[in-house]
Amino acid sequence: MTKNIPEIFGCMVFNDDVMRERLPKEVYKSLTKTIATGKTIDASVADVVAAAMKDWAIEKGATHYTHWFQPLTGVTAEKHDSFISPVGSCKVVMEFSGKELIKGESDASSFPSGGLRATFEARGYTAWDPASYAFVKDGTLYIPTAFCSYTGEALDTKTPLLRSMDAISTQGLRILRLFGDTVTQRLNTTVGAEQEYFIVDKKMYDKRKDLIYTGRTLFGAPAPKGQELEDHYFGPLKTRISAYMQDLDEALWILGINSKTKHNEAAPAQHELAPIFETTNMAVDHNLLIMEYMKKIAEKHGLVCLLHEKPYAGVNGSGKHNNWSISTDTGKNLIKAGKTPADNVLFLLSLAAIIKAVDDYQDLMRISVSHAGNDHRLGANEAPPAIVSIFVGEELEQIIDAIVDGKTYVGAKAGIMDLGIPTVPTFRKDTTDRNRTSPFAFTGNKFEFRMVGSSQNIAMPNIVLNTAVAESFKQFADVLEAADDFDAAVAKLIKDTFTEHRRILFDGNGYSEEWEKEAERRGLLNLKTSVDAYKQFNAPKNVKLFLDHGVMNEVEINSREEIYFENYAKIVNIEALTMIEMASRDIIPAVNAYVAEVADTMGAKLAVLPDINVSVEKDIITKLSELNSKAYVALDELKKAEAKAAKLADAVKRAEAYCYEVIPAMEKLRSYVDAMEPITASEYWPLPTYGDLMFNV
Ligand code: ADP
Ligand code: MG
């Protein structure tokens, strides 16, 4: 049955259309002003909005409401209350006040607080974010909120995000005013997050403890076929996957999420979903919903969606391309290159601000995408490297070079692409060719931050981008506001900034070893693991950045640092324990059983024919026995490393022990197990193989 898409799109969202229709004119005006400018909402307005929201939600089948928030666990949290309010002894009415809309109370003690818990009360508050639309899902009205402690410290990812959006708007507006723009009231950053994921059959998944407990395979020899034929990438969708994607799209459209493109990705059973971009806080909320629905809808189809960055060793991992841009509330994109970027001063200045921000805060960029799962991608010989660099494309790079060298830029003739087929029109070739290996690439009117992990909440990468660029704008505005000759000052500022930060631009192969060496020569950071990266988090310059722009205070920064290290240790700990269990109870016994069978066969053969050739049996028994005893020793080493790490009281030392000692021990154990898999009979091997997992959907 095909549904009427335009009719269902956003039908469960309390969006602008619904607000306009259902709110008194004055209230609607006041609310949209709050949304557009980020100003605090009036209490009387909240009451009216709450009542309208409730009536609308009840019509949509809702009986409950929830303040929906994003604690530092990386996923979302919700606590449902019903609208029911007793009247007398046997009657109820459905009620929802402005107070209930604006503020909720929640026990914060079970959410990670990184030390905040010890210092402060366990109580936490949720506060309505009017700039994200409320929606009805599963009979509940969802109200997007920020989550903070009793004393007002942000316990979530959303609060600093909203503050960072304010920061870049405030500083960016100073620049716009200098360019004579008196109209713009607010600058918004926009984000479109392309989401990669893997699909696996539920029956196979259920047989893998590693997938169940950790979201990735901890053992597994390569399948005979991998992604070398590239026959999967953009290939036709399989029937089951296609049905799944259609269901997923529909569920998302109902919630007003603009899921736009879907296709197969590089690895077998890997796919991608791209929504149309929107204001950053909405994009973050929606990305979280996309991830939630990817998992939920998969279940209905007997499938499981894996959002882990590296479910399978040896094949492509999953990322999230965070497309990011800045535009005015009137829709003017500050970093749209246009036809003649060399003559567009505001564009060049904005570009300079971003280049400077990324160079100055390479460490924060790297930290914002760091977590245990993403370490298997970044720097581990696949896209993109752990070194932060920027790709701007040939034309822009030539313009920047010309500015740095003080030469006039002679425009690149935008090449005409003629495909030589009469029915295909010629089109202007992109002046920015695509560089797939770049962690941060300019694509005409936006930057694509490609280091983000597929499982991550995209709030932090955007907090860092917004705040770092706000700082560039601030420094620029300080200089320009004080300048006598504006034009000369802007020209000098652009030239100086490009000159100083030229080193962060790179258009070569980001996977190559030469780049590692070259990056080192240029003095760029190469933070190989999450733990290496986290150590830079509260460097004085980073603390100063967050403080100066009111994005996070010191308590909030320290709590996040602690959670980084804690989370990392917890994830690797679960992986190590899972490996220990699988090796001890499933794999080593299975290999022993197979060896015993081969030995029995050999004995039986020799009993009837003492001179028979049993070299096959001998060889199998010898190889497997050797590998299995090595695996057993490695297992013991892993147990010791895990026990030692788990005992460490200091969060940083503990994370270091997991990173530098437990992970290598895990890799060693895996290498012996993976070597046994191809020489153990299928019927004895206790796990579905990589082939079963990747080619059975
Ligand atoms: P590309 O071909 O460069 O990948 P697409 O048009 O496919 O570009 O867009 C990729 C993603 O970038 C989509 O999610 C899209 O909505 C998003 N995007 C496009 N323009 C912007 C913008 N101005 N700000 C943020 N994201 C954007
Ligand atoms: Mg892309």
Interval 447-490: pLDDT, tens = 999 999 999 999 999 999 999 999 999 999 999 999 999 999 99
Inform me whether the pLDDT recorded for 432 exceeds 60: no
Tell me the three state secondary structure of residue 123.
Answer: strand
Inform me whether the pLDDT recorded for 1 exceeds 70: no
Q: Does residue 275's CB lie within 6 angstroms of at least one atom of ligand 1?
A: yes
> Which ligand is nearest to the Cα of residue 192, counting in written order?
1
Percent of the chain with pLDDT over 90: 73
> Which ligand is nearest to the Cα of residue 286, counting in written order?
1
Query: In whole angstroms, what is the distance from residue 246 CA to residue 302 CA?
Result: 15
Q: Does residue 274's CB lie within 6 angstroms of at least one atom of ligand 1?
A: yes
Between 660 and 109, the higher pLDDT residue: 660
State the closest ligand 1 atom to the C-alpha of 443, by its place in the atom list counted from 1.
Answer: 3
Separation of 317 CA from ligand 2 center, angstroms? 15
User: What φ, ψ does residue 13 adopt, rounded to 5°?
Assistant: -115, 135
Tell me the three state secondary structure of residue 125.
Answer: strand
* pLDDT for res 94: 86
Mean pLDDT for 503-517 is 90
Q: What would the pLDDT profile of 308-338 be if each residue is shown by its tens digit?
A: 999 999 998 999 999 999 999 999 999 998 8
| Least confident window among 64-78, 465-479, 543-557, 569-583 | 64-78
pTM of the model: 0.93
* pLDDT for res 434: 64
Q: Are 21 and 15 in contact (CB under 8 A)?
A: no
> Which ligand is nearest to the Cα of residue 447, counting in written order?
1
Q: Are 573 and 642 in contact (CB under 8 A)?
A: yes
H helices present in 180-333, as ranges:
202-205, 209-214, 239-254, 280-300
Whose CA is closest to atom 23 on ligand 1?
325
Nearest to 439 by CA among 386, 515, 481: 386
State the closest ligand 1 atom to the C-alpha of 434, by its place in the atom list counted from 1.
Answer: 3
99-103: long-range contacts, CB 8 A cutoff, minimum separation 24: 99/46, 100/50, 100/65, 101/46, 101/49, 101/50, 101/53, 101/128, 101/143, 102/41, 102/43, 102/46, 102/127, 102/128, 103/127, 103/128
Q: Does residue 445's CB lie within 6 angstroms of at least one atom of ligand 1?
A: yes
| Least confident window among 189-198, 385-394, 434-443 | 434-443
State the closest ligand 1 atom to the C-alpha of 192, by its place in the atom list counted from 1.
Answer: 14
* pLDDT for res 197: 96
* pLDDT for res 382: 67
- State the first-to-last Cα distance of the chain, in angstroms, to the nearest integer: 24
For all residues of the chain together, what is the average pLDDT? 90
Residue length of the chain: 697
Separation of 272 CA from ligand 2 center, angstroms? 10
Assign 658 a pLDDT band (cuts: 50, 70, 90): very high
Assign 410 a pLDDT band (cuts: 50, 70, 90): low
Between 533 and 43, the higher pLDDT residue: 533
* pLDDT for res 383: 64
